[in-house]
Structure 1
Amino acid sequence: MSSPNPAIACRLEAARAVVHDAACLAMSMRPPPGGPAGKQKAAQDWLTETDGAVEAFIAERMKALFPDDGFQGEEGGVARAGQLRWVVDPIDGTSNYARGRSRWCVSLGLLDGDDPIAGVIEAPALGEVYTALRGHGAFLNGKRIQASPVTDPASAMIEMGWSNRVPKPVFMEKIDAIMDLGAMPRSGGSGALALADVACGRLDGYIEIVINLWDVAAALPLLAEAGARVSPFLRTGGLTGPATILAANPHIADALSKAVSIPLE
């Protein structure tokens, strides 16, 4: 294996430190367990004070470290253009975070043009940090990860993300298709962590009909390096707006793709 590009490797290490500090900030602002803290942007679409604070913290730190790099955030949009572009979801799983639950993360991905090349996902309440650099592996807490070896869809665990932007019949059609395969459906409330779960083998697949770049930017290098198969999210509109994603372990990917009518790369 060749040595990583020093400039990109340096950026990944810096991103790990920045995301860790941002995760600590989010933990310090974390609501106690109970009814949701924050406000709704739409039905079941939550926004907390922490989302804005964490995004601003990461934006400021990355600008100071790499002033020529582009930056895009869920809350602030594209703040700077650049060949290298950081894409952040300050709190992925805000509905969980707003209730004091543990399944949420800070997600920061790096794109080179249209190519996702590195990512960091930290879930501080779970004590987990995912990192990936294209061509140099995917890791959970420093240990290399790979997609699940499950070959039988009837033994598979598949998560499907819910969105109020998806008509109920469409959602139920995909859930029915998953269950018709004999797979076990799940829904956990964080797209980035679900994709990371596919990368490390905790899930055999993840589907979301409408999801945004900031939800998946850090996970795409993880999936590629862990050997998962993924739908062409970026080529089907994901760079500029919401699109559909399917990620799966390579052994059940074709069967799942056929069942839910979502093509893979």
Structure 2
Amino acid sequence: MSNPILCRFEAARSVVRDAAALAMKMRPAPGGPQATQKAAQDWLTETDGAVEALISQRIGEMFPEDGFQGEEEGRTRTGSLRWVVDPIDGTSNYARGRNRWCISLGLMDGDTPVAGIIEAPALRETYTAVRGHGAFLNGQPIHASPVSDPATSLIEMGWSNRVRPGVFQQKIDAILGLGAMPRSGGSGAIALAEVACGRQDGYLEMSINLWDVAAALVLLEEAGARVSPFLRDGGLEGDATILAAAPHIADALSRAVGVSMD
């Protein structure tokens, strides 16, 4: 395979599968959180570090010229192509033995997301995308929802301790004002992937980081969803707001929650 992006993508799929197997082996039994708190509702498990280390080592061995950035260790290598990993997205769910968590690995070419893998092993689901080659769930093509009436939509919103009190409720009230059904599931990467596959019609999080969304940005683009300019608005170097939506309700949702899609 001569295309360097496709070559890396195929190699990374096996790495993520091995990382997912490790995470499942280390997974806590159902119950209270088996983790430490970095901040309010911001959890860290032993698995986060182990999974990130496995992916970093394997990617580094195969592609030593590539950059690498993880949620836990930050940027450990530099390169024009950069891997960005969230070793366990949805750690609060993982720490309690719940199923809604994933490993998210994205590939950036400069400032452009070009490939992504989101593996949710407890759900037996793998989302994949390469820019210009479509988006897939377990090998089947996916597309954003065709919903055009916000009153029939399902919208998820993520919570962050970095957002001032009252904002979450304000935005949820705006979503309810559209007649939409709100929910919150604890994994931004899975939520964005579900917008890409049409299981839900929008996702909003007021403060989220690149490692949470790098893989999903490619999925959303390839699946035909609309996304706010997360990277332009500061997401490359710090936290920023993201709004992703099915194309036919994107403008109405954007106006309601006050997040521009332009």
TM-score band w.r.t. shorter chain: over 0.9
Match of 2:198 in 1: 201
Q: Kindly provide the amino acid, as one letter, of the partner of residue 148 in structure 1.
A: S
Secondary structure of 2:186's aligned partner: coil
Deviation at residue 169 of structure 1 after TM alignment: 1.4
Which residue, 223, 228, 233 being the options, matches 2:225?
228
Does residue 1:63 correspond to 2:68, yes or no?
no
Q: For 2:233 and 2:152, how far apart are their aligned partners in 1?
A: 30
CA–CA separation in structure 2 for the residues paired with 1:250 and 1:208: 18
CA distance in 1, matches of 2:110, 2:183: 34
Tell me how far apart the structure 2 counterparts of residues 7 and 114 of structure 1 sit (CA, whole Å): 17
Match of 1:143 in 2: 140
Aligned to 1:253, which of 243, 250, 256? 250
CA RMSD of aligned residues (A): 0.8
> Are 1:103 and 2:100 counterparts?
yes
User: Residue 190 of structure 1 aligns with which residue?
Assistant: 187
The residue matched to 1:59 in structure 2 has which SS? helix
Q: Using the alignment, how far apart are the partners of 2:85 and 2:39 within structure 1?
A: 21
The CA distance in 2 between the partners of 1:29 and 1:172, in whole Å, is: 35
Q: Deviations over 1:172-217 (max 9, x none)?
A: 1111100000000010000000000000000100000000000000
Is it true that 1:219 corresponds to 2:216 in the alignment?
A: yes
Aligned length: 262
DSSP-derived class of the 2:75 partner: strand
Distance in 2, matches of 1:110 and 1:68, equals 13
Q: Tell me if 1:49 matches 2:46.
A: yes
2:91 is the alignment partner of 1:94 = yes
Give CA deviations for 1:112-158 in whole Å, capped at 9, x if unaligned. 00000000000000000000000110000000000001110000000
One-letter code of the match for 1:150? Answer: V
SS in structure 1 of the partner of residue 65 of structure 2: coil
Distance 1:43 1:234 in 2: 26
2:176 alignment counterpart: 179
Q: CA deviation at 1:238?
A: 0.1
Alignment partners' CA distance in 1, 2:59 and 2:165: 39
Aligned-pair CA distance for 1:168: 2.3
Tell me the CA shift for residue 5 of structure 1: 6.4
The 5 Å alignment of 1:25-40 reads 25-40=22-37
Query: Any idea what the Cα deviations from partners look like across 1:30-60, whole Å, max 9, x if unmatched?
Result: 0000000010001111000000000000000
How far does residue 74 in structure 1 lie from its aligned partner after superposition? 0.1
Instruction: Give SS of 2:11's match.
Output: helix
Give, as a single letter, the amino acid of the residue that structure 1 aligns with 2:157. Answer: M
Q: What are structure 2's unaligned runs of at least 5 residues?
A: none
| Partner SS, residue 168 of structure 1 | coil
The TM-score, its normalising length taken from structure 1, stands at 0.98
Partner of 1:114: 111
Q: 1:130 aligns with which of 124, 127, 132?
A: 127
Identity %: 74
1:160 aligns with: 157
Change (3 A) 1:8 1:42: same
For 1:138 and 1:243, how far apart are their aligned partners in 2? Answer: 24
Deviation at 1:164, TM superposition (A): 1.1
Alignment of 1:14-25 (within 5 A): 14-25=11-22
